[in-house]
Chains A and B, each alone.
Chain A
């Protein structure tokens, strides 16, 4: 690996939500829900980091916390040498130029009463208010061509497009400022499989053309494998494992990752039937009251007494492969 300065460095990030129980007195202390629990990672320029995990494991919260849309309680989000958490709101808005986001629901993320042209032009209007209108329109049209939309559709409205097209509009809006990083929060979960492939290939192509970094959140492991250089596995707000994509899929070390990967269906009925499935018992524990020690121990097939007492550190076991399990061997 080259000695490159990472463009994004998240250190010990923690996000808590206050949960006010039903029928509580006004003076009772709200319960704390730890959505993101001491997460650290870094991201290099041009790299794609996949984030996977079950529903409710804090993937989206992590993304929103990096964008500053959710208040984080502790830690650092160092973006190009500046800690975004300590920046005043005005500067934070300005930094958004280089840090954009693509959302899960393609149609819901577009303002229903604006035309596509206005939607894609909004970042330009916000950050370059003095740009002449025709130049802005030109930029929007080029961007539409780039993401595979017809520039003649500039005057149409979001409800006149299909889901895949809407997601292309969302991507165009994120890219029009030529950012350095795009956070994709489950960008393909709402699309059907053939469209998923189109959108992912589009993202990969644009990444190459524009030298983007991506944070790609999904719960579909095969999608993440296709696009990511490195993958981070989250469980209940904690990092279970980070490794390069190849290594994680061929040699998962954490029992949770192993179970996740064995659950990925293989599109061949014979192989699928003969494959060994590692089933995980029980449901996700409540994040308000997480298990002591290792958060995964209640469902872990390898759990021992040690797991309930001591939280496993996220430790390097081989190169950049990091695992949070007492029993993972290098």
Chain B
């Protein structure tokens, strides 16, 4: 009697559980990610930063190209950060509002970062997965091509592009896109080589699935974990890279700017006007930290075995 009533309860519970949606590996990973405090905080900060760079310009009366003539003569005194005159981050050495310029620079830098990562994920994943999956001679040719590309002196390419076509944001995207996917392709190829011998790939072959469909349906989703982690670490790398090019004076052209260009400018005036260095640098540092924490959290979440 005791047991039968219990059995009924269990049976009723089982009835109510029918049609339960299983939790996918992605959902599992998301739950693990949420337990990683630094990563969640970083995600939040990055979200705020993106919103700020998208809409922050409406909070200030100034424009990023506009020169504040009233303060131009005496930047060291009148150009200090202040709430009253609307120059929240102060003025740059030629009298433009640093707050607006930082926001403008954030857009360029974040765009470069995401663009580089996106190109890397898109081209790198497909290229690497195809090379790894087909293997043999095709793999050799594809990987040798990649090695030739990565042996190419990249700075030289950027300088030539800038010299021939003039300074243009688009060219930076092209240049960064051209190199960012190389190491991604290598990583994905390595992963694919190990996945290729897995039984579920053999099962797909046995079913009669076409090779390209196998790559898209079975290989890509399974390398995506590694790819995402690597991509989050690639974003700050790309931002740094753009900063480096801008610092050398090869990046975006005036009046547009980026974090690297602002820092370069600020570094020249850091004795007289330290705020011109501090604000853009703070943005860059915070972003880099956040992306690294985010990558860390994602790695822990996506391959819990490697912890």
In the complex, which of the residues B22, B200, B221, B222 contacts A156, with contact meaning CB atoms closer than 8 Å? B22
Main DSSP-derived SS at the B contact region: helix
Q: Which residues of B contact A198 (CB under 8 A)?
A: none
Q: How far is the CA of A112 from the CA of B20 in the complex (A)?
A: 18
B195-228 interface with A by 8 A CB criterion: 198-200, 202-210, 213, 217-218, 221-222
Give, as a whole number of angstroms, the nearest-CB distance from B306 to chain A: 16
Give A197 to B21 CA distance when docked, in angstroms.
30
- Work out how many contacts link A and B, with CB atoms closer than 8 A: 84
Q: In the bound complex, do residue B203 and residue A170 qualify as a contact, i.e. CB atoms below 8 Å apart? A: yes
B307 proximal to A (CB < 8 A): no
Q: Is B254's beta carbon under 8 Å from chain A? A: no
Judge whether B199 and A105 touch: CB under 8 Å: yes
Contact assessment for A96 and B206 in the assembled complex, using a CB-CB cutoff below 8 Å? yes
Question: Contact string, A109-138, partner B, CB cutoff 8 A, digits 1/0?
Answer: 111111110000011001100000000000
Given contacts A67-B206, A93-B208, A123-B207, contact A108 B200 (CB under 8 A): yes
Residue A48 interfacial (CB < 8 Å)? no
* Residue pair A69, B205 in contact (C-beta under 8 Å): yes
Give per-residue flags for A152-172: 1 if the beta carbon is below 8 A from chain B beta carbons, else 0: 110111011000000000100
CA distance A198 to B221 in the complex (A): 33
User: How distant is A162 from chain B, measured CB to nearest CB, in Å?
Assistant: 14
Check A122 against B209 for contact (C-beta < 8 Å).
yes
Determine how close the nearest CB of chain B comes to the CB of A151; give it in whole angstroms.
10
Alpha-carbon distance between A153 and B14 when the two chains are bound, in angstroms? 12
Known: A152-B18, A155-B21. A173 touches B203 (CB 8 A): yes
A159 / chain B contacts, CB cutoff of 8 Å: 25
Determine chain A's interface SS by DSSP, over half rule: helix
Question: CB of B289 within 8 A of chain A?
Answer: no
Q: Which of A93, A104, A112 contacts B200 (CB 8 A)?
A: A112
- Does the CB pair A122–B25 fall under 8 Å? no
Is B23 among interface residues, defined by CB-CB distance under 8 A?
yes
In the complex, which of the residues B18, B26, B203, B208 contacts A109, with contact meaning CB atoms closer than 8 Å?
B203
Q: Does B255 contact A (CB under 8 A)?
A: no
Chain B residues, CB < 8 A from A180: none
When distances are taken between beta carbons in the complex, the residues of chain A under 8 Å from B22 are 115-116, 153, 155-157, 160
> Contacts A100-B206, A152-B20 given: A108-B199 contact, CB under 8 Å?
yes
Closest to B26 in A: A113
Chain B: interface residue count, which band? 20 to 34
B204: chain A residues at CB < 8 Å are 111, 122
Residue of chain B at shortest CB distance from A122: B207
Q: Which residue of A lies closest to B24 (CB)?
A: A157
A97 within 8 A of partner (CB): yes
Chain B contacts of A246 at CB under 8 A? none
Chain A, residue nearest B210 (CB): A93
Q: Give the distance to chain B from A61, nearest Cβ to Cβ, in Å.
A: 13
Q: Which of A79-97 contact B (CB under 8 A)?
A: 92-97
> B20, A113: Cβ atoms under 8 Å?
no
Identify B19's interface contact among A101, A123, A126, A152, CB under 8 A: A152
**Contacting residues, chain B, for A95 (C-beta < 8 A):** 208
Question: Considering the chains assembled together, what is the distance between the CA atoms of A123 and B204 in angstroms?
Answer: 8
Residues 14-46 of B contacting A (Cβ, < 8 Å): 18-26
Chain A residue at minimal CB-CB distance from B222? A113
Contact A96 B208 (CB under 8 A): yes
B-side contacts of A122, CB under 8 Å: 204, 207, 209, 217
Interchain CB contact under 8 A, A111 and B207: no
Judged by a CB distance under 8 angstroms, whether A296 is at the interface is no
B207/A69 in contact, CB under 8 A? no
Instruction: Provide a sorted-by-A list of 20 A–B residue pairs whose CB atoms are within 8 angstroms.
Output: A67-B205, A92-B208, A96-B208, A109-B199, A109-B202, A110-B203, A111-B200, A111-B204, A111-B221, A113-B24, A113-B26, A113-B221, A113-B222, A114-B221, A115-B22, A116-B22, A122-B207, A156-B20, A157-B24, A157-B25
* Chain A residues proximal to chain B, CB less than 8 Å: 64, 67, 69, 92-97, 100-101, 103-105, 108-116, 122-123, 126-127, 152-153, 155-157, 159-160, 170, 173
